[in-house]
């Protein structure tokens, strides 16, 4: 009996556990990437014991891949040597770690997954417990195959109603970030529920779990349903049967209710994720770079929204517009369905699959004084390059409209009248 996180942990523990308890649990998978694997290797070597179960390790090269400089190249070579030495088989370099984790079928409802990346929360959209940890802890989990968890209390976010046309899950999540604040859910599990969540595709749901990190949450969960099953069956390698774990007579620490019909397109303004305003308040702000991609909004549906608006149009001449599909699978589908052609005809630059410009190491850095409008999840100072640049966050539609006009504008007129 309990909230979704309590139910997931109780199954793993083999007894009923509740918020506040500390439990030692088996983890299903331990994720790390090119940025965080080297430090985990260091902790692993120091412990001096073998890996408990090599099948649990999943390593991705995505943050700065292919290596943009010598330092990254050396770090990746060391990590690769380790992968070969240990004979690890779950090694990927075909896109953003979180997207590939889902596509490759590592994420299933009820699973417990830890990752050396703060946005590991992403997998919560499929009803898995997933959270980010420090590198040392990842090295420890390699050896132990388990780790300790403090069962978190839960905030229920109930989203009711239908969003207006042109308002996407990203707008709703940005609105929530503004409402709850950057530390609004620290230590907490956030359960996203309500008729609005139920009406969304999995791709749109993932935005909520992914962004839950930005409000301090330990995890951001959505109870699995028919949409989850359909997605797992058709868009991932995770084969049935699925354990559709649900909250049972849950006790929530807090309940937040929002009628999404009242939400306008939103923008998170420089330099904090909770510095959120209705888009209309920042309309007209000139934009030097538009970046469509990342684990937040670099999925096929996101590209489709942008392509629909860019079809038959050109991006503004001085607005660098970069489209980076989150994974190779998405890239391929976008290619097959003509989306890439649309982007290229519009004057966009197509990036290499992976994190791209998101962490300011390659794929579209910002110069001092530049301003980006992107589909990312973070706008911290210096995130995309110069600390004197500004980052604004929005939905795929909002940033595509900015690409066309070179400034922040309401995307809705473009959606209403797509080029015929």
List of residues contacting ligand SF4 (CB under 6 A): 63, 96-98, 117, 119, 294-295, 355, 358-359, 377
Alpha-carbon gap, residue 211 to 373, rounded angstroms? 17
Q: At what angle do helices 135-144 and 37-47 cross, to 10 degrees?
A: 50
The answer to whether residue 54 forms part of the interface with other proteins (CB under 8 A) is no
Dihedral of CA 113/199/244/157: which sign?
A: positive
Q: Does 136 bind other proteins (CB under 8 A)?
A: yes
Residue 294: name its binding partner from ligand SF4, other proteins, none (Cβ under 5 to 8 Å by kind): ligand SF4
How far is Cα 11 from Cα 26, in angstroms, rounded to an integer? 11
* Structure token pair of residue 219: 């995890």
Judged by CB under 8 A, does residue 53 bind other proteins?
no
What's the closest the beta carbon of residue 294 comes to ligand SF4, in angstroms? 4
Binding status of residue 359 toward other proteins by CB under 8 A: no
Based on the shown chain and the rule CB under 8 A, indicate whether residue 132 belongs to the binding site for other proteins. yes
Distance CA 224, CA 226 (A): 7
CB of 376 to ligand SF4, least distance (A): 6
Distance CA 308, CA 162 (A): 22
Three-state SS for 103?
helix
Of 98 and 188, CB closest to ligand SF4 = 98
Distance CA 88, CA 53 (A): 10
| Residue 15 partner contact from other proteins, ligand SF4, none using kind-dependent CB cut-offs of 5 to 8 Å | none
Q: Which does 201 bind (CB under 5 to 8 A by kind): other proteins, ligand SF4, none?
A: none
- Work out how close the CB of 247 gets to ligand SF4 at its nearest, in angstroms, rounded to a whole number: 28
DSSP letter string, 310-379: HTT----TT-EEEEE-SBHHHHHHHHHTTHHHHHHHHTPEEPPSSSGGGGSSSSSPBPTT-EEEES-S--
Give the number of residues in contact with other proteins, rule: CB under 8 A.
27
Name which of 31 and 223 has its Cβ closer to ligand SF4. 31
Residues of this chain that interact with other proteins (CB under 8 A) are: 22, 24, 43, 46-49, 118, 132-134, 136-137, 139-140, 143-148, 150, 183, 186-187, 216, 218
């Amino acid at each position: 009996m309990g909230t979704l996180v309590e139910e997931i942990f109780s199954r793993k523990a083999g007894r009923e556990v509740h918020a506040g308890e500390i439990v030692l649990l088996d983890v299903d998978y331990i994720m790390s990437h090119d940025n965080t694997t080297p430090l985990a290797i260091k902790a692993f070597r120091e412990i001096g014991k073998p890996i408990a179960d090599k099948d649990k390790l999943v390593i991705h090269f995505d943050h700065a891949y292919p290596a943009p400089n010598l330092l990254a190249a050396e770090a990746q070579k060391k990590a690769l040597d380790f992968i070969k030495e240990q004979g690890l088989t779950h090694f990927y370099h075909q896109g953003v770690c979180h997207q590939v984790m889902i596509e490759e079928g590592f994420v299933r409802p009820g699973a417990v997954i830890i990752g050396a990346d703060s946005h590991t929360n992403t997998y919560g959209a499929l009803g898995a417990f997933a959270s980010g940890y420090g590198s040392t802890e990842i090295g420890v989990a390699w050896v132990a195959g388990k780790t300790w968890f403090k069962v978190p209390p839960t905030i229920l976010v109930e989203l009711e109603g239908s969003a207006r046309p042109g308002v996407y899950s990203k707008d709703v999540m940005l609105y929530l970030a503004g409402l709850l604040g950057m530390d609004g859910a620290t230590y907490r599990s956030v359960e996203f529920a309500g008729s609005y969540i139920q009406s969304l595709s999995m791709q749109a749901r993932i935005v909520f779990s992914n962004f839950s990190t930005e409000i301090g949450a330990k995890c951001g969960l959505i109870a699995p349903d028919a949409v989850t099953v359909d997605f797992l069956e058709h868009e991932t390698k995770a084969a049935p049967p699925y354990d559709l774990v649900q909250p049972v007579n849950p006790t929530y620490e807090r309940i937040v209710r929002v009628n999404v019909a009242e939400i306008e397109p939103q923008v998170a303004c420089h330099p904090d994720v909770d510095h959120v305003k209705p888009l209309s308040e920042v309309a007209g702000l000139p934009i030097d770079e538009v970046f469509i991609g990342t684990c937040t909004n670099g999925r096929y549906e996101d590209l489709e929204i942008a392509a629909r608006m860019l079809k038959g149009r050109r991006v503004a001449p001085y607005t660098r517009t970069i489209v980076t599909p989150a994974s190779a699978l998405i890239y391929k589908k976008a290619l097959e369905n003509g989306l890439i052609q649309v982007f290229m005809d519009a004057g966009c630059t197509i990036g290499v699959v992976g994190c791209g410009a998101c962490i300011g190491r390659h794929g579209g850095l910002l110069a001092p004084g530049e301003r980006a409008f992107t589909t990312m999840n973070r706008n911290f100072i210096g995130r995309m390059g110069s600390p004197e640049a500004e980052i604004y966050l929005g939905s795929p539609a909002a940033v595509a409209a900015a690409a066309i006009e070179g400034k922040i504008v309401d995307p809705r007129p473009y959606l209403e009248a797509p080029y015929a």
